[in-house]
Amino acid sequence: MSCSRSIVVHLTRGLGAVVLLVLAFSHGSEHPVLLPLLLIGAVALLGGCPMCWLMGLVEAAKARRDPPHAQ
């Protein structure tokens, strides 16, 4: 489900999304043209909704903890 199995990459994407959301809500009324772009960027970084991002983070943590399957 998640794009990356790295927890650091996943957390960096989440931080970037939070920054874009803060910019969207703090400057959206001053620059209405940027508002949709910032929101779309945040959704893209989250990989959908915040719950999708959180589930991906849990999967990345679980994949890091579990040993690889030997077949």
Given the structure tokens 């959301």, which residue do they identify?
Answer: 21
Any idea where the domains of the chain sit in the sequence? 7-64
Q: What is the pLDDT of residues 20-47, one digit of tens each?
A: 999 999 998 898 999 999 999 999 998 8
Tokens of 3: 């794009």
Report the sign of the C-alpha dihedral through residues 38, 43, 45, 46, in that order.
Answer: positive
pTM comes to 0.76
Better-scored residue on pLDDT, 49 or 33:
33
